[in-house]
Amino acid sequence: MKKLIAGNWKMNGSLAANEALVSAMLDGLGGKAPASDVALCAPAPYLAQLAGLLNGGPIAWGAQDVSSHESGAYTGEVSVGMLRDFGCRYAIVGHSERRQYHGETDTVVAAKAQRALAGGVTPIVCVGETLAEREGGQTEAVVKRQLAAVIHAVAHCTSEIVVAYEPVWAIGTGKTASPEQAQQVHAVLRAQLAAATQHPERVHILYGGSMNAANAASLLAQPDIDGGLIGGASLKAADFLQIVAAAT
Ligand code: PEP
């Protein structure tokens, strides 16, 4: 399976900055398709710009969230149909910043994943424990509970999701899970997927949390780490391209 490197720009960017960043990334790839799959997830207002800039080239694009509803009176939300209209490939769901600051529960995250899949967009389902949960020995239970809600909702489509293990204590903090710590959790998630789908090997399980040009290769060398979800380092073309190179 090809690895998948997905950038999460979070709430960063501008028309001018996005154009410069994307053109530096495309220049860096030199017109060649990388050996791994690559995607960028931008804030909703810039998705149309991204669709234009990336225009069927080697980098796909995605949203950072999607509504759990199909359409209607949900002010401020973006539906999967709207994303598909522009050719969106991925939508991050259940990022810890959405769980933490927007009160998204496992049930909401599962509904979003289900809605994305039904609308033809691949959900990148984020799971991960807080520092207190890790220190309390609850890491496995937390990630399994978070993934179980999604598996329950998407049922026979489980092999079509992407999972991202993102320990909350490692996101944007510069603290990375060691390759062994990450692999241990990825193996747990793979086993959980194996009990839910005949093709657990088809599910990309990404690692996210301060992945950068220096630590990417050792993380990506782990048997159950199938790629990365990259926050801060996806805002710097050279760093992001080094991670893409490490995945090939
Ligand atoms: C993220 O936002 O998903 C993330 C992993 O961020 P960072 O790489 O900055 O830790």
What pLDDT does 194 receive? 96
Structure tokens at 42: 């931008």
7 close to ligand 1 (CB < 6 Angstrom): no
Separation of alpha carbons 76 and 28, rounded Å: 36
Pocket of ligand 1 contains residue 215 by CB under 6 Å:
no
Tokens at residue 211, please? 């992945």
| Structural domains present in the chain | 4-246 (3.20.20.70)
Based on the residue annotation, tell me whether 166 is a catalytic residue of this protein.
Answer: yes
Cα(110)–Cα(220) distance, integer angstroms:
27
Sign of the CA dihedral running 211, 216, 218, 221: positive
Nearest atom, ligand 1, residue 126 CA: 3
Q: Provide, rounded to the nearest whole percent, the portion of the chain with pLDDT above 90.
A: 94
At residue 147, does pLDDT exceed 90?
Answer: yes
Under the banding of pLDDT at 50, 70 and 90, the label for residue 196 is very high
Alpha carbon of 198 to ligand 1 centroid (Å): 30
pLDDT in the model for residue 33: 84
pLDDT of residue 248: 82
Q: What is the mean pLDDT of the chain?
A: 96
Percentages helix, strand, coil for the chain, rounded to the nearest 5? Answer: 50, 15, 35
Lowest-pLDDT choice from 2-6, 173-177, 208-212: 173-177
Over the stretch 172-182, which tens digit does the pLDDT of each residue have?
Answer: 898 899 999 99
Ligand 1 pocket test, pick from 90, 230, 240, 243 with the greatest ligand atom count within 8 Å of Cβ, gives 230
Nearest residue (CA) to ligand 1, atom 6: 231
Cut 0.95: pTM above it: yes
Cα 150 to middle of ligand 1, angstroms: 21
Which of 95, 97, 129, 133 is an active site residue? 95
Is 95 in the active site? yes
